[in-house]
Chains A and B, each alone.
Chain A
């Protein structure tokens, strides 16, 4: 990112920061129906697979492969599945905490869109004595102004592990 981020006091930054914190609340509460309402109809939600490569290789994600590569339809199916009574992996539910920090907001060429960078650390605990799991990632979001408020149009999740130490991604970041 070469452009300078908006000052922390800028109203647009405050708006974006609050949106990210409110979103984290919905994800922790697993209120996925409300979370899905925060997406635009043309949303793209992508989490590439990170790989270990030499510095000179020029890439550090697996070509053509992702953990998530979602549109509104597939996100909708995932959310609908959690709403059934038979999504065993989250029944009993995980205890989730999304820690969101390092938020930087950037203006874009479009007056209607803001770019947000953030870091997220997800703590996930399942059952009583199982080892908890952590997932650390950077996020790069395009947030679009709509009549109903900011909506997520694009998210790229840059996970910080090549091999995930989490049993599945029955969670969102």
Chain B
């Protein structure tokens, strides 16, 4: 991509739904993504339920940048760049735990769990005290921007990032189905983490809108009777929607009112009562009147959700589960998957146990859906590396006629954003359009900051 004309052509192709196959395995593209997408967008780091008590922390990355996501003694959540101000060691080398302080193992500088530097050995002898290194008010470098929605903690490396709520836009309409089924919201368990030799965009696109793969990729899961519906083709009756920074897929539910439909996917009345109170009339109408139930979804750039309702025992009863997952880029041909199980905090314990079981069977490192998905994505990625892949434009125009008019009219319903019933690659195109917008816009490099010296 040294030649900007190349990039211009790639982005123009992507915007008309013809994807140069090499974007799924290309060093130059990946370098641009690191700067222009991951150094700019709001990226998911953790959920507040993972760090409930003062001092609780998890360590998470945005590409190569390690952050300690920690709750301080006053309950505030911080994302601290995990690098000692002195010689750059990681001050925290565990993945999670509880700590009042983080002490660098190299020279012993120590930081309170709100990031403040409190210990600097031989401060007087080595630096001449504050005259040489002003110790007060120094802190580990915080993530330039940090905010939460429904307990989901996001960070942006861009100090000029728009507010998170503005970035998410109307996608929050759908985010509530996954993360706000009661006033207490969700609790997360996990993540399972594993690395796959696949490009990060493939998972994000798949979860955003690929209802078309279900009948084929996941035939086996239907064949073994894991679902109530005997045919995976049912997916074409659902709709896909795109709103704000995200989009997703839905299933069409059988006739019934809101309560009957929530029961149909396995929610007990005690949870349904709370959903009815928590969700807006329009959110309730999407299920109760329009008859659609959210399934997979993605928020740009790399956070996805899934909601499904398999059988968890020999009986015909089904039980819903929710998973959050992040496609953490490692390189152009490698992604670390972080997959969490999520469940409403106020759900009955028995529900939580069965929902967890449903999750493990379907998604995550051993999930029966996930197994076949990843096999496909690894295959795509390895094939995208070569010369021929630079000559092939993958057709991602499903749902569009030659004149760019949609095959079906947009759905008139209560949901936010734009939706279409049936198979289409509307959302994959919307996600990659965002990707293209970012890639063609350079980021302002913030000036470097030093600590301790000078005024």
Do A67 and B364 contact each other (CB < 8 Å), given the known contacts A87-B220, A168-B370? yes
The residue that B371 contacts in the complex, of A70, A130, A170, with Cβ under 8 A, is A170
Q: Which residues of B contact A78 (CB under 8 A)?
A: 361, 368
Cα distance A80–B374 in the bound complex, in angstroms: 20
Do A169 and B336 contact each other (CB < 8 Å), given the known contacts A49-B190, A163-B193? no
Do A54 and B366 contact each other (CB < 8 Å), given the known contacts A65-B192, A84-B220? no
Cα distance A74–B219 in the bound complex, in angstroms: 17
Interface flags for B313-338 (1: CB within 8 Å of A; 0: not) read 11000000000000000000000100
Q: Which residues of B contact A65 (CB under 8 A)?
A: 189-192, 341
Tell me if A68 counts as interface (CB < 8 A to partner B). yes
Tell me if B165 counts as interface (CB < 8 A to partner A). no
Q: Which residues of B contact A167 (CB under 8 A)?
A: 194, 196-197, 374-375, 378
B360 touches A88 (CB 8 A): no
Tell me if A166 counts as interface (CB < 8 A to partner B). yes
Q: Which residues of A contact B217 (CB under 8 A)?
A: 88
In this complex, the interface size class of chain B, counting residues with CB under 8 Å from chain A, is 35 or more
Q: How far is the CB of B354 from chain A (nearest CB, A)?
A: 11
B366 touches A168 (CB 8 A): yes
Cα distance A119–B220 in the bound complex, in angstroms: 32
In the complex, identify which listed stretch (A11-19, A56-64, A147-155) lies at the interface while the others stay far away: A56-64
The residue that B368 contacts in the complex, of A47, A77, A162, with Cβ under 8 A, is A77
Q: Which residues of B contact A101 (CB under 8 A)?
A: none
Q: How far is the CB of B384 from chain A (nearest CB, A)?
A: 15
Q: Which residues of A contact B194 (CB under 8 A)?
A: 163-168
The dominant DSSP class at the A interface is mixed
Tell me if A102 counts as interface (CB < 8 A to partner B). no
Cα distance A163–B337 in the bound complex, in angstroms: 9
Cα distance A162–B192 in the bound complex, in angstroms: 8
B360 touches A52 (CB 8 A): no
A53 touches B94 (CB 8 A): yes
Which B residue's beta carbon lies closest to that of A55?
B94
Interface flags for A95-125 (1: CB within 8 Å of B; 0: not) read 0000000000000000000000000000000
A168 touches B95 (CB 8 A): no
The residue that A64 contacts in the complex, of B95, B189, B357, B370, with Cβ under 8 A, is B189
Q: How far is the CB of A144 from chain B (nearest CB, A)?
A: 22
Tell me if B195 counts as interface (CB < 8 A to partner A). yes
Tell me if B123 counts as interface (CB < 8 A to partner A). no
Tell me if B166 counts as interface (CB < 8 A to partner A). no
The residue that A81 contacts in the complex, of B193, B195, B220, B370, with Cβ under 8 A, is B220
Tell me if A73 counts as interface (CB < 8 A to partner B). yes
Question: Size of chain A's interface in residues, with CB distance under 8 A?
Answer: 38
Q: Which residues of B contact A87 (CB under 8 A)?
A: 220, 371-372
A67 touches B192 (CB 8 A): yes
Cα distance A164–B312 in the bound complex, in angstroms: 26
A62 touches B190 (CB 8 A): yes
B190 touches A168 (CB 8 A): no
Cα distance A54–B223 in the bound complex, in angstroms: 45
Which A residue's beta carbon lies closest to that of B336?
A163
A54 touches B220 (CB 8 A): no
B361 touches A52 (CB 8 A): no
A69 touches B356 (CB 8 A): yes
Interface flags for B212-246 (1: CB within 8 Å of A; 0: not) read 00000101110110100000000000000000000
Cα distance A77–B361 in the bound complex, in angstroms: 9
A77 touches B226 (CB 8 A): yes
Q: How far is the CB of A50 from chain B (nearest CB, A)?
A: 10
A51 touches B96 (CB 8 A): yes
Q: Which residues of B contact A49 (CB under 8 A)?
A: 190-193
A86 touches B223 (CB 8 A): yes
Q: Which residues of A contact B189 (CB under 8 A)?
A: 62-65
Q: How far is the CB of B103 from chain A (nearest CB, A)?
A: 11
Which B residue's beta carbon lies closest to that of A74?
B361
Do A168 and B360 contact each other (CB < 8 Å), given the known contacts A77-B226, A163-B194? no
Tell me if B184 counts as interface (CB < 8 A to partner A). no
B97 touches A57 (CB 8 A): yes
Q: Which residues of A contact B376 (CB under 8 A)?
A: 88
Tell me if A66 counts as interface (CB < 8 A to partner B). yes
Question: What would 30 A/B residue contacts be, using CB atoms closer than 8 Å?
Answer: A49-B190, A51-B94, A51-B95, A53-B94, A54-B94, A57-B97, A62-B192, A64-B356, A66-B360, A67-B366, A68-B366, A69-B357, A73-B312, A73-B314, A74-B312, A77-B368, A78-B368, A81-B220, A81-B224, A84-B223, A84-B224, A86-B223, A87-B220, A88-B375, A88-B376, A89-B371, A167-B194, A168-B371, A168-B375, A169-B371
Beyond A88-B376, A162-B193, list 12 extra A-B contacts (CB 8 Å).
Answer: A52-B94, A63-B189, A65-B190, A66-B360, A74-B312, A77-B226, A78-B361, A87-B220, A130-B197, A167-B194, A168-B371, A169-B371
